[in-house]
Amino acid sequence: MAEFSLDSSFIPALHKPAALLPVARYRDQLLYVIETFPVTIVIGQTGSGKTTQIPQFLERAGWCADGKIIGVTQPRRVAATTVALRVADEVGCEVGKEVGYSIRFEDVTSSATRIKFLTDGLLIREALVDPLLSRYSVIMVDEAHERSISTDILLGLLKKIRRKRPDLRIIISSATLQAEDFLDFFTISSEGKATTRTADAEEGVAKIVSLEGRTFPIDILHLAAPTENYVDKAIDTVFDIHTHEGPGDILVFLTGREEIDTAMRAVSEKVSQGGDQYAGFQALPLYAGLSSEEQMHVFDKAPEGRRKVVFSTNIAEASITIDGIVFVVDCGFVKLRAYNPRTGIETLTATPVSKASASQRAGRAGRTKPGKCFRLFTEDDFHNLPEANTPEIQRSNLAPIVLQLKALGIDNVVRFDYLSSPPSEFMSKALELLYSLGALDEYAKLTRPLGLRMAELAVEPMMAKTLLSAPSYGCLSEMLTISAMTSFGGSIWFYHDGEQKAMERSRRKFAADEGDHLTLLNAYSAFVTKGKKEARFCHENHINYKTMTQAVSIRAQLKRYLERFGVDTSESLASHQGESELKLKAENIRRCLTSGYFAHAARMQPDGTFRNVEGDMTMHAHPSSLLFNRKADWVIFHEVMETGDKTFIRDITKIEKGWLLEAAPEFYKLSDKRAELP
């Protein structure tokens, strides 16, 4: 027999044969339940094959007759595309033909498409055009247990649509045992909910089907006594695993970049000081702020004889799956957003994880063989954890959601059938802001065209207002850029360890006296004139290339929307402009920003901190802002965020006090709390 190496002669199958997946045994049962009940709730662990197989079962069973299609939603873009590619491969078609996907900026579907994967946010937007989602015979909402805002809103819409479309089939898929909540939601009518919860449960509407998972057993260990410092404890645990346990990679859950950097440094110090027993580590960081290139390193196999240790934020809980993890170390905390409706401030605080999260994290250890999970908290602590975290919709600014619901024709946003109703103060705050922006009239009805257009633009309400007033300030092209540059959460600037000063020098090259918005405009202009051609431009200037190309796409999309509204978007050719013209242009941009961001105004105090208009809150310029450590008087800002014991404002631009009154006379006149303005 000829000699061959196992490694080079065999290519591992990318996907397990579908017939071997647990879901295959449930095919007939699933088809029967879906046929019989309008709503099916599928409980299936990762690896059960539900996402890839159920749509194919349905298609073959004839659910795409009459040209209708099967829609499968995902909470994340990357999931929608990868699952579509896999299913297209199994079906044996090119992606975009019978099987396709649709995410923002990428519609890979055609008239032949029968199974379509898409983000839940995008399906909500489809409902703006087609309120009954009439193209779909079946809609499967995957990963519903994550309870993202979009998923929750979508489920509310589907419940409403179902009454008008008895033929529609809804499948809710959930990895944990929160299925009862979904069952209650679909079987109890909203009227019934208002009176007695149990009285009006509708029989025969929804049914739960539980699929067997295919994960390996995981040993879960808790601390005997609580720890004071979980970062130190995590590092000790990693070294204990290394010396006492068999081979296998380690995944450590921490809460943020700072902790991850600390852990990375501690490991490399120990490795350099310690003896042989500490050798052989490959430590890697993982968090969203890294460039995608850096994130990819966590998928590399550790060099022979070395053990991979990934220090990660919550991104590894659901968004990024690393195979080969045998040990999980869970610090027991996660940073979660909270919203204070009185101040309008979102905070980011480390919070104990939920039981659902803890078991999801533990499950990351058993994907390829039996694993172990070390929890850095006691078993008592575990029993005291909440079953699930507060759904996002109950801890976020609701202005974007209210605007979207109004545009979907849901006038009474308070009585909308939410899976979990948001607190009423959140609702009033959102209505107040939308009214002052002119998106709602005094009866809280959506205004036309302004409110409707704001809802259609894929940016936050304050920025949408700014963009729609830009033509009257003669700065539409600039505002398109600024909107695009501020509408993705993160920063365009990034740096590796020790390069922070160099990054700050690069950033200063684009600085504008007026503040951060004009600085972003300068950076974008430089990118489209030089950066697109020269590969080195981004690298040399510490700019994230991927983020910049994203900004280019967002800008183009916003421009198309405005064209559809009949706005003239033709760019005034940048003829040579003199100093005074540039100043005037900059002033118009600042006035325009004030027209949308008047509610985010602040004044610098003699000590360099900022005070809000009501005068009851002290805020600091974020160190990433140009106005950090610089003099200013009145400013508007894009974002305010509280971390630890300080409140920071980000993306700040200088304005004149008088512009605030011009932009929102009622907002400033009616309230006697706005002390500092006449």
Question: Is residue 289 at the binding interface for DNA, with CB under 7 A as the rule?
Answer: yes
- Residue-wise burial string across 586-624, b where 16 or more C-beta atoms lie within 10 A, e elsewhere: bbbbbbbbbbbbbbbbbbbeeeeebbbbeeebebebbee
Of 32 and 488, which has the nearer Cβ to DNA? 488
Nearest-approach distance from CB 647 to DNA, in angstroms: 9
What separation, in Å, do the N-terminal and C-terminal C-alpha atoms of the chain show?
94
Tell which positions 446-475 bind DNA, by CB under 7 A: 457-460
Question: Is residue 623 at the binding interface for DNA, with CB under 7 A as the rule?
Answer: yes
Of 63 and 648, which has the nearer Cβ to DNA? 648
Sole binder of DNA in the list 8, 570, 575, 629 (CB under 7 A): 629
Stretch that binds DNA, among 172-180, 204-212, 421-429, 642-650 (CB under 7 A): 642-650
Instruction: Give the DSSP letter of residue 612.
Output: E
d(CA 374, CA 335): 20
Vertex 254: Cα angle to 295 and 550 (nearest 5): 35
Sole binder of DNA in the list 58, 88, 108, 149 (CB under 7 A): 149
Question: Is residue 650 at the binding interface for DNA, with CB under 7 A as the rule?
Answer: yes
Return the structure tokens found at 577. 């402009």
Nearest-approach distance from CB 526 to DNA, in angstroms: 21
Question: Is residue 426 at the binding interface for DNA, with CB under 7 A as the rule?
Answer: no
Question: Is residue 313 at the binding interface for DNA, with CB under 7 A as the rule?
Answer: yes
> Strands 115-119 and 69-74, how do they pair?
parallel
Contact letters for DNA, residues 99-128 (x by CB under 7 A):
----xx--------------x-xx--x---
Of 162 and 638, which has the nearer Cβ to DNA? 638
Q: What Å distances lie between residue 615 and 132, 535, 631, 658, 675, CA to CA?
A: 47, 47, 19, 17, 7
Stretch that binds DNA, among 146-154, 156-164, 275-283, 357-365 (CB under 7 A): 146-154
Stretch that binds DNA, among 41-49, 286-294, 423-431, 467-475 (CB under 7 A): 286-294
Sole binder of DNA in the list 288, 535, 556, 582 (CB under 7 A): 288
Stretch that binds DNA, among 196-204, 300-308, 332-340, 442-450 (CB under 7 A): 332-340
Tell which positions 167-206 bind DNA, by CB under 7 A: none
Question: Is residue 624 at the binding interface for DNA, with CB under 7 A as the rule?
Answer: yes
Nearest-approach distance from CB 376 to DNA, in angstroms: 18
Nearest-approach distance from CB 559 to DNA, in angstroms: 14
Contact letters for DNA, residues 208-247 (x by CB under 7 A):
----------------------------------------
Phi, psi torsion values for 29, nearest 5 degrees: -60, -45
Amino acid at 384: N
Of 58 and 290, which has the nearer Cβ to DNA? 290
Note the helical H segments in 474-544.
Answer: 476-487, 500-509, 516-526, 536-540
Of 500 and 529, which has the nearer Cβ to DNA? 500
Closest to 570 (Cα-Cα) out of 480, 469, 453: 480
Question: Is residue 547 at the binding interface for DNA, with CB under 7 A as the rule?
Answer: no
Closest to 38 (Cα-Cα) out of 171, 143, 141: 171
Contact letters for DNA, residues 339-378 (x by CB under 7 A):
---------x------------------------------
Closest to 525 (Cα-Cα) out of 580, 557, 484: 484
Of 12 and 489, which has the nearer Cβ to DNA? 489
Stretch that binds DNA, among 276-284, 298-306, 333-341, 670-678 (CB under 7 A): 333-341
Of 130 and 180, which has the nearer Cβ to DNA? 130
d(CA 443, CA 424): 17
Tell which positions 555-594 bind DNA, by CB under 7 A: none
> Strands 169-174 and 136-141, how do they pair?
parallel
Vertex 183: Cα angle to 180 and 189 (nearest 5): 130
Return the structure tokens found at 230. 């979980």
Stretch that binds DNA, among 163-171, 271-279, 330-338, 510-518 (CB under 7 A): 330-338
Sole binder of DNA in the list 68, 86, 97, 335 (CB under 7 A): 335
Q: Are 525 and 585 in contact (CB under 8 A)?
A: no
Q: How many CB atoms lie within 10 A of CB 111?
A: 6
Closest to 400 (Cα-Cα) out of 374, 422, 378: 422
Nearest-approach distance from CB 253 to DNA, in angstroms: 11
β partners of residue 116: 71, 100
Vertex 161: Cα angle to 156 and 164 (nearest 5): 150
Which residues, 6+ apart, have CB-to-CB distance to 643 below 8 Å?
A: 347, 348
Residues binding DNA: what is the number (CB under 7 A)? 56
Sole binder of DNA in the list 90, 639, 656, 676 (CB under 7 A): 639
Question: Is residue 603 at the binding interface for DNA, with CB under 7 A as the rule?
Answer: no
Contact letters for DNA, residues 70-89 (x by CB under 7 A):
-----xxxx-----------
User: If you search the block for the tokens 């760019």, which residue do you land on?
Assistant: 571
Of 286 and 362, which has the nearer Cβ to DNA? 286
Judged by DSSP in three states, 304 sits in: coil
Of 62 and 644, which has the nearer Cβ to DNA? 644
Nearest-approach distance from CB 645 to DNA, in angstroms: 9
User: If you search the block for the tokens 């107040």, which residue do you land on?
Assistant: 432
Question: Is residue 152 at the binding interface for DNA, with CB under 7 A as the rule?
Answer: no
Q: Are 662 and 601 in contact (CB under 8 A)?
A: no
Nearest-approach distance from CB 474 to DNA, in angstroms: 25
* DSSP sequence for 197-212: TTTTBPTTSEEEEE--
Which residues, 6+ apart, have CB-to-CB distance to 462 below 8 Å?
A: 433, 437, 596, 597, 599, 600
Q: Are 3 and 27 in contact (CB under 8 A)?
A: no
Of 187 and 491, which has the nearer Cβ to DNA? 491
Of 553 and 671, which has the nearer Cβ to DNA? 553
d(CA 47, CA 22): 8
Q: Are 97 and 113 in contact (CB under 8 A)?
A: yes
Question: Is residue 644 at the binding interface for DNA, with CB under 7 A as the rule?
Answer: yes
Of 259 and 478, which has the nearer Cβ to DNA? 259
Question: Is residue 386 at the binding interface for DNA, with CB under 7 A as the rule?
Answer: no
User: If you search the block for the tokens 């499948």, which residue do you land on?
Assistant: 171
Stretch that binds DNA, among 142-150, 217-225, 412-420, 670-678 (CB under 7 A): 142-150
Nearest-approach distance from CB 321 to DNA, in angstroms: 12
Which residues, 6+ apart, have CB-to-CB distance to 173 below 8 Å?
A: 41, 42, 44, 50, 51, 54, 140, 141, 142, 143, 144
Question: Is residue 296 at the binding interface for DNA, with CB under 7 A as the rule?
Answer: no
Of 382 and 628, which has the nearer Cβ to DNA? 628
Nearest-approach distance from CB 534 to DNA, in angstroms: 27
Tell which positions 481-520 bind DNA, by CB under 7 A: 487-491, 500
Q: Site residues (CB under 7 A) for DNA?
A: 75-78, 103-104, 119, 121-122, 125, 148-150, 255-258, 287-289, 313-315, 319-320, 334-337, 348, 400, 404, 457-460, 487-491, 500, 608, 620, 622-624, 628-629, 639, 641, 643-644, 646, 648, 650
